[in-house]
């Protein structure tokens, strides 16, 4: 059961971020799993860095032990979703800016 909870905490924020990225960036079709996994990687790196400096969690074993506390799991999940949405908004905006500039360059 712990594996499923840990797996969902790591995967769901990336899927939400990929969906937001698709809406903001006007990317056609459903979000791809590769986009979600890339967002998951960046979200995980940001969270691990924050936990290292602010919470004193230095190893993956300590992180898994911290997930036994439900308040930590809830806060970690909500923070991951929030960070994912922020990354998706920034990435989608950059995609639109460069995509629009690319269209204008093609017309000339």
pLDDT per residue over 32-62, tens digit each? 888 899 999 999 999 989 888 988 888 888 8
User: How many domains would you assign to the chain?
Assistant: 1
Q: Is there a domain that residue 52 lies in?
A: yes
Domain carrying residue 25: 12-107
Q: Is the pTM of this model over 0.85?
A: no
Q: Is 105 exposed, middle or buried (0-12, 13-18, 19+ CB in 10 A)?
A: exposed
pLDDT tens per residue, range 63-79: 878 888 888 888 888 99
Mean pLDDT along residues 74-85: 92
Q: Is there a domain that residue 50 lies in?
A: yes
């Amino acid at each position: 059961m712990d594996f499923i909870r840990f797996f969902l905490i790591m995967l769901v924020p990336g899927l939400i971020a990929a969906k937001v990225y698709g809406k903001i960036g006007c990317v056609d079709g459903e979000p791809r799993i590769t986009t979600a996994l890339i967002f998951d990687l960046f979200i995980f790196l940001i969270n691990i860095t924050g936990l290292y400096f602010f919470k004193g969690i230095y190893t993956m074993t300590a992180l898994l032990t911290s997930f036994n506390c439900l308040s930590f799991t809830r806060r970690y999940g909500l923070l991951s979703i929030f960070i994912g949405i922020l990354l998706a908004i920034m990435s989608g905006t950059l995609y639109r800016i460069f995509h629009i500039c690319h269209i204008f360059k093609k017309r000339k």
